[in-house]
Structure 1
């Protein structure tokens, strides 16, 4: 992890001089990685930079994120050219780039902008600040140093990352409220985008949630008596309503006051799982995530796993 001051200045110099840049989100993109990438893409494109945005993996980008300004610059992963300057946004490790990892690593200058506490840096220039509520906050600082105009389009992309990664400001630091005020003043339709990103689901989501909550298990003795609650979402729901709809289940499970740790096991394909973890206060989740090749923050982390549902639950319990 770095304090970011020297590398941010060098990142700004690299971006100012670049004629072409490839920007990368992480696999299964959320609003912070996509909003950060698109905000930077829009600003660079205006300066005449040839910009492409790569999204790893074969799964479709969630519909809400395709409505963000600049989304037309997203290129299918198998069509990425790979420019000399590459920027990974909101990626806690190079593994989060999956099938685009080689494109990133062969770039002449590799830049990482991220806010995950588990990120030890994997670029030539790393702007990693775990004190930031979201990567979009760091991108805003870079754009300010570039003297980029923060108009409604750029602000909307940044707001998407800010509002989602702070849980609609439920756990935001004071500085994030000041950033939100600035972005709203730039023309963001806050209520509309909050509904789109956080409060809009297809009808089938209700059945998926009901099925997931029926699977919930409370383990009061876990984590030294602080408690664990977990639930599972199997791959059939991805086919029915899309993989992104399962992401919201963790926000329901985490509301259980009987447990410090909440976990949702989500199956994207048969036997392929992503594990989302949240803790209220007492438990640092980063060591568990790292033990399985994942990462994140002390109170919000995750990892991937392959095997039967019994295996993934047992592996987590052992960790």
Structure 2
């Protein structure tokens, strides 16, 4: 079943959140730009999570039903959909970065707070005539020519759903699967403080299409190769607790011993963050190029989004990240310094 973009009488516009942070004039301009384009290039952030890839594919379904030529991608040097997300429908829309239009007419980005988060597609987007940015990160740098950005939205998927409706589309099982993956990913399966009544209302709309939420949950959280357990054991063996901060790291050598792809490391931070004695959790993950991808979490008292923004990344108050080109020792030293500054400001100290 595909969305019927012509039957606007069936469009559940009242059921969708209004997202007042985005002016109506911006939504209207986005619809006009998309309506006037023959080809639309879609891009999400590198190493995509469920919110980035799910939001992009959901909108891609609607655009394709409108008769648009669709090209969708993300700018990783080793282009591959993370194993945990291979259940998402619509992946026939995806192309590797080298097949992305070099000078696109219209680009829509999803869940990317900065141009750098587009990776290899950054220059393509910079050359585009129009760039619509769909995002919910407070650290968004307002790049592009039109921003559909609402930092109060729990997930970019909430904005993608609104765009689906405004383009005249309706939810079907494929679109809902993509949006639900984004919603549960960025709300921690409805456990994070961002889980509002609007989040549950959206979930109800998506589930009403006939989703198997148990199957989606199993794909996202309840599967891993045996090597993950071995790498996790190494990370937990190294874990350190110091002054309300718990942290550890995973090297390329750790992964290579078990043939474990980098994308399989995402869940380690959720185990480390459980530590009762720590307010902030950090996991350093060495990628295939020798850089350290730093994932951070806070239980609420510390704004790790601010810390990561200073260090070249970004995110949310309770969940953020950045890339470090230094070693473990220097990376953690810089993080501690910036963390101390944020703690002093939050406590009112000079």
Instruction: Give the TM interval when normalised to the shorter protein.
Output: over 0.9
Q: Which of 257, 260, 266 is the matching residue for 1:247?
A: 266
User: What whole-Å deviation, never above 9, does each CA across 1:76-98 have from its counterpart, x for those lacking one?
Assistant: 11111253110110001111011
Report which stretch shifted further, 79-88 or 46-55: 79-88
How many Å separate the matches in 2 of 1:154 and 1:95? 28
How many Å separate the matches in 1 of 2:214 and 2:62? 24
Which has the larger Rg?
A: 2
Contact preservation (8 Å) 2:77, 2:120:
no
1:297 aligns with 2:316: yes
The ranges of structure 1 where at least 4 consecutive aligned residues each deviate by more than 3 angstroms after the TM superposition are: none
| Matched residue, 2:35 | 16
Q: CA deviation at 1:237?
A: 4.1
Determine helix, strand or coil for the equivalent of 1:175: helix
Determine helix, strand or coil for the equivalent of 1:298: coil
1:187 aligns with 2:210: yes
How many Å separate the matches in 2 of 1:14 and 1:186? 29
How many Å separate the matches in 2 of 1:194 and 1:13? 36
| Matched residue, 1:105 | 126
Contact preservation (8 Å) 1:35, 1:161:
yes
* Unaligned 5+ runs, structure 1: 221-226
* Unaligned 5+ runs, structure 2: 1-19, 339-350
Q: CA deviation at 1:238?
A: 4.2
How many Å separate the matches in 2 of 1:86 and 1:250? 32
| Matched residue, 1:75 | 95
Determine helix, strand or coil for the equivalent of 2:281: strand
Q: Which of 249, 265, 268 is the matching residue for 1:232?
A: 249
Q: CA deviation at 1:270?
A: 5.7
Q: CA deviation at 1:313?
A: 1.4
Q: Which of 197, 202, 210 is the matching residue for 2:225?
A: 202
Q: CA deviation at 1:67?
A: 2.6
How many Å separate the matches in 2 of 1:138 and 1:270? 33
What is the root-mean-square deviation in Å for CA atoms of aligned residues? 1.3
Contact preservation (8 Å) 1:113, 1:139:
yes
1:4 aligns with 2:22: yes
| Matched residue, 2:341 | none
Contact preservation (8 Å) 2:234, 2:254:
no
Taking structure 2 as the reference length, what is the TM-score of the superposition? 0.86
1:165 aligns with 2:182: no
Contact preservation (8 Å) 1:27, 1:97:
yes
1:276 aligns with 2:295: yes
Taking structure 1 as the reference length, what is the TM-score of the superposition? 0.95
Q: Which of 237, 244, 248 is the matching residue for 1:214?
A: 237
| Matched residue, 2:10 | none
| Number of matched pairs | 312
Contact preservation (8 Å) 1:271, 1:309:
no
| Matched residue, 1:153 | 174
